Chain A
């Protein structure tokens, strides 16, 4: 078990103008489950591959267990990795797959057998040990890939989108299982995914990345409640947060735009007053919107319903406010039809405010700092 420390880590591919990963700072706690999440091409996989040593970092330093691993071969970093495609050796049985690294390290035969048997027991794959990967289902292969990582008893687990090749149901099951496994083994784990739900449900801490830059590193709840910028706010949470360009009027008392008028509460009023700009981004999560009586409330947005999606427990509607399509989550018994004109309301203290140009939050949370700890 070890602390992984990334300081100012960056990656520049030969001949590339810009950095693929830039100025990555993160120190894991011992035994922590860290998730790297972001859209494809954001640099999350590159970051993980630099920790693994499959790619050299070109800037900054990476320390594993206090040891600078610059120039250390992957096999000497005391890490294990689970790949998206599982990368099982097709010509070897499950047992040989799991034993391969131990054989290369010249462990005693009895030792190898014991370790493989133990890992197989943990994962419940004992009956599969003599099969070839070809004869396994997707979920079973996934388990074997985990088993291959476990037998090495490494200081750090690295998992690169390990669930993305599984179907939806299995993915949910394996999600829980990996979390359970992590709790049992207590090994520091870095986990890469593009799926924010996976990130939120699994990570103790989540690093949200975009275009090679870390946007925010925080606990799931902090990310949800205090997103550092427009990108994080939109990326975390499903359906995504709605964003409206709003004119600031009355010294921050009100926000308005085509077809909407929003009143602010005390804290937001002072934030807007300090900010002093005439335009901001106003963000509202779909789950904070509700249908309201027209004309009555201070916060209201009016528009035509374009899409109605009943999901059973709730109903999602999309309403055109000005020229922005706003998603709202309403109760299933509230009957709304396509083409209806509705009014949406939202509590003032659920409004998120972002700078119009920099898209940073106006709520005073800096990137990388958390108020959750």
Chain B
């Protein structure tokens, strides 16, 4: 494929750049709008060059309840991810190194729960949460996100653990390592890069989640998804505020997402693609 004419090369480059720009443009426009005034953001003539203002950011960070929702997002995303890792590491260890006839079945069963539509369990969880006073609580959301991401986390950790050579674990066993030693002192440090990127993916997925956040939280336990969706009826008003709040909600995760592209594909395809 090394032979390609000059016009061909230029054409392909132009096309590739155009595609990237078009795909990214709405995000760019969002960020740009966040530095405008509310009036300018909804101007009939789109403004590309203007003197930027931080007013909307100040408004979001100081005047509104941004921090309340942001903290809930951090709490639910990080909390559910930690829970996933704590539950997932031993499970994935068992699947990778203590294989039995049931291992594949268990793994498939876990993955298939991820294919269960959330609406299939929405009503009972809503009712149970109501009785347990978990509605509109960050804790309740964290517990749901854990269930939501656990299959992906177990699956990814399993694929990372499988890359640890069995002989190293046997060497450790002969060296006198117990099961816990094996998990804590050998497998976990060896698979640490994989564990970290798995965790990052789980954070991204929990952070962006909307269905549960909207349905079982309102104010007290609500995340940024709920906060931002409050702008949904801003027909031409507060667009700069909306853009600033959205940018603040999206940017850290966008950057994290850039670094987890591979894990994201690996995790969300459940091994259906090799």
Which positions in A face B, CB cutoff 8 Å? 52-54, 73-75, 79-81, 83-85, 87-91, 100-101, 104-105, 148, 152
Contacts and interface: CB of A to CB of B under 8 A. Distances in A.
Given A73-B173, A87-B165, A152-B175, 9 more contacts: A53-B174, A84-B167, A87-B171, A89-B186, A89-B190, A101-B175, A104-B176, A104-B177, A148-B171
Contact of B175 (A54, A75, A90, A91): A75
A148 to B, nearest CB: 8
Interface string B168-197: 101111111100010000100110000000
Contacts of B173: 54, 73-75
A349 B18 CA distance: 86
Contact of A101 (B165, B168, B176): B176
B176 A54 contact: no
Nearest to B186: A89
A80 B171 CA distance: 9
B174 A90 contact: no
Contacts of B175: 75, 100-101, 104, 148, 152
A73 B174 CA distance: 8
Contacts of B171: 81, 83, 87-89, 148
B246 to A, nearest CB: 41
A152 B177 CA distance: 14
A87 B176 contact: no
A85 B173 CA distance: 16
A151 B175 CA distance: 11
Contacts of B190: 89-91
B19 to A, nearest CB: 39
Contacts of A73: 173
Contacts of A81: 170-171, 174
Contact of A100 (B167, B170, B172, B189): B172
A79 B181 contact: no
Contacts of A74: 170, 173-174
A83 B170 contact: yes
A101 B170 CA distance: 12
A54 B177 contact: no
A169 B140 CA distance: 64
A152 B172 CA distance: 13
Contacts of B170: 54, 74, 81, 83, 87
Contacts of B186: 89
A53 B173 CA distance: 10
A80 B167 contact: no
Given A91-B189, A91-B190, A52 B168 contact: no
Interface of B: 165, 167-168, 170-177, 181, 186, 189-190
Contact of A105 (B165, B168, B176): B176
B189 A80 contact: no
B168 A89 contact: yes
A150 to B, nearest CB: 13
Contacts of A152: 175
Nearest to B164: A90
A52 B174 CA distance: 8
A71 to B, nearest CB: 15
Contacts of A85: 165, 167
Contacts of A105: 176
A101 B174 CA distance: 8
Contact of A79 (B165, B174, B177, B189): B174
A80 to B, nearest CB: 7
A53 B176 CA distance: 12
A89 B164 CA distance: 10
A228 to B, nearest CB: 33
A75 B167 contact: no
Contact of B167 (A87, A101, A104): A87
A225 to B, nearest CB: 37
22 contacts: A54-B173, A54-B174, A74-B174, A75-B175, A75-B176, A81-B170, A81-B171, A81-B174, A83-B167, A84-B167, A85-B165, A85-B167, A87-B168, A87-B171, A89-B168, A100-B175, A100-B177, A104-B175, A104-B176, A104-B177, A148-B175, A152-B175
Nearest to B168: A87
A52 B181 CA distance: 19
A164 B171 CA distance: 18
A101 B171 CA distance: 10
B113 to A, nearest CB: 30
B256 to A, nearest CB: 25
A87 B177 CA distance: 14
B172 to A, nearest CB: 7
B174 A75 contact: yes
Nearest to A98: B175
A204 B176 CA distance: 30
Nearest to B173: A74
A74 B182 CA distance: 14
A84 B170 CA distance: 12
Nearest to A79: B174
Nearest to A14: B101
B63 to A, nearest CB: 49
Nearest to A84: B167
Contacts of A53: 174
Contact of B172 (A80, A84, A89): A89
A95 to B, nearest CB: 14
A81 B171 CA distance: 7
Contacts of B168: 87-90
